[in-house]
Structure 1
Amino acid sequence: MFALRRILLFVPVAALAACSVVAPPYSASVDNIQALKNASPVATRLGAFTNDAADGDHSSVQLRANSMRSPVGDSFAQYLSSALQQELTIGGALSPDAKVELSGVLLKNNVDANIGTATGTISARFIVKRGAEVRYDSVKTATTQWDSSFAAAIAIPRATQEYPLIVQKLLASLYADPAFMQAIH
């Protein structure tokens, strides 16, 4: 009887330990928007953003025993596309009838909520085309670190809060590339 009570107590705790969380919605970076406005006039439209099949489908990110899912579509490639759409729209650089198209491939998407120091890395290939001509093709990577806790109840929410900031950093590196800005002019 005592063993049964232990099992009944352990099952809900184990179920809670392996929950799925949703990444916070992307919030456009003021610095990124200003970079786009400073490069004005630029105009582009968004093409497809896909996942690199070699690195998995990027439908979720493991955070210890939890998994984090994208709030946009069914993958983090769509999250990245949505982030770009927000910033390009606010920055006045998105036009559905632009001759220049920006597309991409999410190559790496990892958040490691280690005890002590957690890290996050995002890598994507960005491609700018005018018609069939490729004007820009480059891989950008953003990595960041933050303090993390032993307690998952603290570490997991902190890791999910950091995720949009990693995406902001990735897009900042894209906008800081003069070749990219020239390609979307």
Structure 2
Amino acid sequence: MIQLRYCLIVLLTLVTAGCGALKSPAYSPDYQVLDNLKNKQLLNVSVAPVEPTDPEAKVNKISLRAASLTTDQGTFSAYFEQSMIQDLTEMGIYQPSSNVQIKATLVENNIDISSFSKGHGKMIVDLEIHKSSVLTFSKQYIGETEFESSFAGAVAIPKAQSEYPYLVRELLKQIYSDPEFIKELSK
């Protein structure tokens, strides 16, 4: 009888773990990368709304098997935008009125947990820098992560949910570590 109850509880947990919407955890900066940039003389920058802003755009929807991942910012584009603003603020160079503006478009945004043992995240962004409305820099950046996963949805889904901020951090690390990006923002 106890085994039957245990089996029912496990089955119910597995079924409900894959249903509904899950929230992405809050972004946390890579302070080592930010500290490296703090030592450089960089221009103050503003950040344009990251495209696409449409919540129905493919990059603003992430499916984790039977569950969907969502964000408090409403879209993953806005999540990326707020993460970048948080980093630039930490570096002391974010200024909303600056005529040096970063514009970004999410091209790909996905967490894949279809494998039995590994999960993968991939995010691609097209990034531009405009100075006084003149395009001065344009480049595509790719961030990728790999993490332990499981065939069991009750394990894989929460793990993928917790990994999303690391994917964003990895993409931003690629941007902030790029000598061309640093040179473009240097005084």
Shorter-normalised TM range: 0.7 to 0.9
Residue matched to 1:109: 109
| 2:153 alignment counterpart | 152
Q: SS where residue 58 of structure 1 aligns?
A: helix
More strand by share: 1
TM-score (normalised: structure 2): 0.84
For 2:170, give the aligned amino acid.
K
Q: Superposed, which structure 2 residues align to 1:25-174 within 5 Å?
A: 25-51=26-52, 56-72=57-73, 74-113=74-113, 114-174=115-175
1:50 alignment partner, SS class? coil
User: Could you tell me how far 1:45 is from its partner in structure 2?
Assistant: 0.7
Distance 2:173 2:61 in 1: 23
CA contact (8 A) 1:125 1:137 kept: yes
Partner SS state of residue 169, structure 1: helix
The amino acid of 1:103's aligned partner reads: K
**Amino acid in structure 1 at the alignment position of 2:122:** T
What's the offset of the Cα at 1:173? 0.6
95 and 176 in structure 1: CA distance in 2 versus 1, 3 angstrom threshold: same
Indicate the SS of the match to 2:29. Answer: coil
Specify the alignment match of 2:178 in structure 1. Answer: 177
Structure 1's 171 and 88: CA in aligned 2 closer, same or farther, altered over 3 A? same
Q: Is the 8 A contact 1:25 1:164 kept in 2?
A: yes
Task: Give the 3-state SS of the residue equivalent to 2:79 in structure 1.
Answer: helix
Compare 62-71 and 36-45 and name the one that shifted more. Answer: 36-45
Q: Deviations over 1:118-177 (max 9, x none)?
A: 100000011100012111111100111111112111111111111111111101110111
Write out per-residue CA displacement over residues 65-115 of structure 1, whole angstroms, 9 at most, x where no aligned residue. 11101221x210100000001000011111123220011000000100132
Count the aligned residue pairs: 174
Cα RMSD, aligned residues only:
2.3
Other structure's SS at 2:43 match:
coil
Q: Which runs of 5+ in 1 are unaligned?
A: 1-9
SS of 1:49's equivalent in the other structure is: coil
Percent identical: 25
Asked whether the 8 Å contact 1:99–1:130 carries over to 2, the reply is yes
Secondary structure in structure 2 of the residue aligned to 1:93: coil
Give 5+ residue unaligned stretches, structure 2. Answer: 1-10
TM-score, normalised via structure 1 length: 0.85
Native 8 Å contact 1:175 1:181 kept in 2: yes
- Shift, 1:57, TM fit: 3.9
Equivalent position amino acid for 2:134 in 1: E
Amino acid at match of 2:88: L
